[in-house]
Amino acid sequence: MPKAKLQSADVEPLDLSLPEDEAQQSRVEDVYHEILARIVRGELPGGSELKSTQLANALGVSRTPVVQALSRLIADGIVTQRMNMRAMVRPGAENWLVEIHELRLLLEPAAAARAAQHMPDEAIQKLQRQADAVDPQNNDDWPRLARDFDFALHLAISDHAANQPLRGAINKCWQYKQLSYELGPERTEAILRGFREHRIILAALAARDAATASAAMELHLRLASSYRPEGRVV
């Protein structure tokens, strides 16, 4: 990867590139998500053999990040590989993001109930300030701010559920959320509805109402997939 540099006649060039190990990790992450995107879009259907050389050529990278990305996909259960056999896409893996959303339905309502009891006041106040900054009437950048609030709210609930395994499972699910946005871009109407639902969840947290926080989270997650025109990527 070429290194980005600032140069001046009077100062020594400043190297702004990532350290090699971080750059390699970033490439592996990009390759992982690109292969998963192709699986979710149906371009690599269940049963497809995954040849590292062909994938490297298709993605314009070396084999090393492809092999590492395939290892991650195998560990996550998206790709399978038997002893001395080539890696293959798991049958049904095109529904990976749907299955992740189903897992969130099992985890996040319970986490919201726990967070209503454990989230510090300062964390709730920080979320309220972030929500107040989302102004659809006067700020053209409100969809990005609403999405930032979306991430912040869900991850704050995860952080303050007072259960480390629960936090780890939710955060793992949220590693795929950006990919779901990229594969199924949301309409502004859907973003606005989601934002209103997030504010209801936040109000329940602020009121320390565990039952309402849990119910509001469950309703929000059940409605989320209906906002996608294709109904599959959530």
User: Which has more pLDDT, 23 or 206?
Assistant: 206
Question: How many whole angstroms from its chain centre is CA 124?
Answer: 22
pLDDT of residue 66: 95
According to the model, what pLDDT value does residue 21 have?
75
Specify the pLDDT at position 10: 43
- What percent of the chain stands above pLDDT 90? 72
First to last CA, the chain: 33
User: Do the domains spanning 14-91 and 94-227 agree at the CATH topology level?
Assistant: no
Query: Does the CA dihedral 189-193-199-202 come out positive or negative?
Result: negative
The Cα-based distances of 135 to 5, 142, 201 in angstroms read 38, 6, 18
From the list 156, 76, 52, the residue with the least C-alpha distance to 111 is 156
Q: Which fold has domain 94-227?
A: Four Helix Bundle (Hemerythrin (Met), subunit A) (1.20.120)
SS3 209: coil
Global confidence as pTM:
0.81
- Domain locations along the chain: 14-91, 94-227
Paired tokens of 51: 């040849």
Contact 117, 208 (CB under 8 A): yes
CATH (one of 1.10.10.10, 2.30.110.10, 2.40.110.10, 3.40.50.300) for 14-91:
1.10.10.10
pLDDT over threshold 50, residue 200: yes
